[in-house]
Amino acid sequence: MDDIFDSSLNLEEAHLKEGFDEGYKDGLGSGKEDGKQVGLKTGFEVGEELGFYKGCVDIWNSAIHVDPTQFSSRVQKGIKQMEELIEKYPIMEPENESVHEIMDSLRLKFRAVCASMGVKLEYNGYPKSSSVEKEKIMLKSMLGCCKVYISESRNRAALESIERAAKLFPKAPIINKFVDETYNRVGYTLVSKLDPQPSSDPCPLRTSVLAMVKAALESIDLELHSGSHPRLGIVDHICFHPLLSTSLDQAANIAKSLAADVGYGLQVPTFLYGAAHGEGRTLDTIRRELGYFKPNSSGNQWVGGLKQESLALKPDEGPPHVIPTKGVIVIGATRWVDNYNVPVFSTDLSAVRRIAKGVSGRGGGLPSVQAMALAHGETVIEVACNLLDPNNVRGDRVQLEVERLAKEEGISVGKGYFTDLSQEKIIQNYLKLDSALAEEFRFVIYHEHKNEMKAFQTQLYSVELHRRRLEIKSKSKFKKKQKDGCSKSHCKDVITKDCEDKEPTDLGYNYDNENSSSFQQESGAAYLVPKHHQKLHWGLDTKERWERKANM
């Protein structure tokens, strides 16, 4: 009896300890990741500053080598001491207590050398653009993309539940949705801004995807699922891609963080691949190990949950055993990947498999292309391709290769299609949703090309001004014949005055007011679209007119 009461009385303490242990484990992983990011940032800043001082020392030593009398002996001694301090800095020992002392001494010595030379030189961080605003905006323009593939497309209620979960996080909207009822599969594409620096704030992209995964696991039962597309779980595959100035490492960090949440929080075995995996393991390697490509039912179909209770591969996160109703999840981070499917009008699966093998890089076909043959209805088999390097091997090239191989088999082929929008279109659609970010991009585009535009506009302005002068001169009422009793110079003065009084018609150009023009981009170049008219300053040459306008 005492033991029964003791267990009841100690229940709260047991739960507290269990919760502490779980929280400590999760917090330890998160803390290590945050610490790693802060360490990388600090190391980068220290390396930049040391590089700056080393560059100055190298330049000064080169000058001394050319002319030993270039600097005084005092300055040369200071340069030598700076060089010794740089060599002494323990780069590979960041925990060495002398790092701060050496860096402080190096800074003081640098200032002393500059003062002795009579030059004003100071380290202010890495070289910045002339526009601080531009730099801030480019930092803000870091975007991340996530593609989520879910094994369901016929259960409308489940899809609505998943999409409702995503809408709770408007900072990471769904940009595209691709539904294939034959495959019984849906793909979602989400985009959000990413923090350029490590932050304690939750990442909206990770939070939104996690909510979608949770909703999918709650509303879908893998044992009731069937389709002609292979899958390993309810949420079959999640991939993060960096966009714009985002690095692949940043995308990988989000993938790893999400994997920990899914694995331990939702208790689903989770596998990592690409940049998110320590050894860069590929997606198809995991799939082959887990039997992804082998149908478990007749008619080239995948039906029900995973039959294997014990997994052939140890998960990176989460429990080692699979729950049949949920399956497993594969999460990774890679550069941009396009998915391109080509319909082949045949029921001969073996022949289409030969075509798929001939197209893929693994089978000696196109490099960076992965392909497999999947039944898509009763009369069509698709060659489904992953284009791992779409900048070099595009969909049109895959289309031609499939057509060539199909012709050898005596089979006709339809026009292929992408299962998602292009990278550029996804960014464009996201910018339409985020008007504030779109304004920032227009600002950046303008300032990147401002000098070129000003030069071009000045030339255009001068040409138009000269044309108008000639036009007015040709239409002047004054004849070459002088009036009686008037000197030549008098007539000239009258003509000049009359011409000066004539104000040219409005040309419709506004060259200097940034706020009154809209900025557009075409083929990578920016240009101005005038909105308001502006009159010319008649009688001034181009340079003088621009100077006057600049001082207004």
Catalytic residues: 229
Burial of 61 (0-12, 13-18, 19+ CB in 10 A): middle
Is 401:359 a contact under the CB 8 Å cutoff? yes
Is 237:327 a contact under the CB 8 Å cutoff? no
Q: Hey, which bits of 166-308 come out as E strands?
A: 174-180, 185-193, 226-227, 235-244, 270-274, 302-303
Would the CA dihedral through 350, 352, 353, 354 be positive or negative?
Answer: positive
DSSP 493-521: HHHHHHHHHSPPPP-----S-GGGEEEEE
* 99-107: long-range pairs with CB below 8 Å, 24+: 99/46, 103/46, 103/49, 106/53, 106/82
Region of 508 on the Ramachandran plot (φ > 0 left; ψ -120 to 50 alpha; else beta):
left
> Within 10 A of 544 (CB to CB), how many other CB atoms are there?
11
Report d(CA 416, CA 418) in Å as an integer: 7
Report d(CA 355, CA 359) in Å as an integer: 6
SS3 of 12-65: the string is HHHHHHHHHHHHHHHHHHHHHHHHHHHHHHHHHHHHHHHHHHHHHHHHHHHHHH
Which two tokens mark 121?
A: 């030189």
Interacting residues of 246 by C-beta distance below 8 A, sequence separation 6+ = 142, 143, 144, 194
Report d(CA 261, CA 255) in Å as an integer: 10
| CA 545 distance to own-chain centroid | 43
Using the 8-state DSSP alphabet, how is residue 430 labeled? H
Helices (H), 336-394: 349-359
Strand-pairing partners, residue 381, are 344, 375
Region of 205 on the Ramachandran plot (φ > 0 left; ψ -120 to 50 alpha; else beta):
alpha
Pairing of strands 235-244, 329-333: parallel
The helix-helix angle for 435-448 and 132-140 (nearest 10°) equals 140
What Rg value do the Cα atoms of the chain yield, rounded? 34
| CA 330 distance to own-chain centroid | 21
| CA 444 distance to own-chain centroid | 16
Q: Backbone phi, then psi, for 327, in 5-degree steps? A: 80, -155
Using the 8-state DSSP alphabet, how is residue 434 labeled? -
